[in-house]
């Protein structure tokens, strides 16, 4: 029984937990949730701006609306320098579509060491940002 609970807990943390990766000069932290997975995240410098982009994939059939994303730009000392919101290209998940909703945002911020992308299944009006 303990083994089964450990496997279920590990799977749950994998699906809903934070994923950290390195994209060029930035650490990228991805906070998906139990309904939606954030995929294909890219963080690049273009003309002095940091461009963050990616896609959303539904994990659960309960996910119908795409919600929004909060993107935090974090300094080397761990402080949040700025936070911006990104709205996906579509507000609904279309089950028969091959095109996943995409998001992209730009920010002109100096001293960024990490970028954290967090998905919120609710609308912008219900977010505390």
Q: Which fold has domain 2-126?
A: Immunoglobulin-like (2.60.40)
Neighbours of 74 (CB within 10 A): 20
Q: Give the pLDDT confidence score for residue 42 in this predicted structure.
A: 94
Neighbours of 102 (CB within 10 A): 15
Strand 112-120, strand 26-31: pairing: parallel
Spatial separation of the C-alpha atoms in residues 48 and 107, rounded to whole Å: 9
pTM of the model: 0.76
Domain boundaries, the chain: 2-126
pLDDT tens digit string along 49-105?
999 999 999 888 888 889 999 999 999 999 999 999 999 998 888 777 778 899 999
């Amino acid at each position: 029984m303990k083994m089964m609970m450990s496997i279920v807990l590990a799977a749950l943390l994998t699906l809903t937990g934070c994923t950290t990766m390195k994209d060029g000069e930035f650490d990228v932290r991805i906070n998906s949730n139990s309904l939606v997975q954030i995929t294909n995240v890219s963080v690049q410098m273009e003309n002095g701006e940091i461009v963050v982009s990616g896609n959303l994939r539904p994990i659960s059939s309960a996910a119908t609306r795409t919600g929004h994303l909060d993107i935090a730009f974090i300094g080397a000392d761990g402080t949040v320098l700025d936070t911006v919101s990104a709205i996906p290209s579509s507000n609904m998940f279309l089950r028969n579509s091959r095109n996943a909703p995409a998001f992209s945002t730009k920010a002109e911020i100096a001293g960024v060491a990490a970028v954290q992308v967090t998905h919120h299944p609710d609308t912008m009006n219900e977010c505390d940002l």
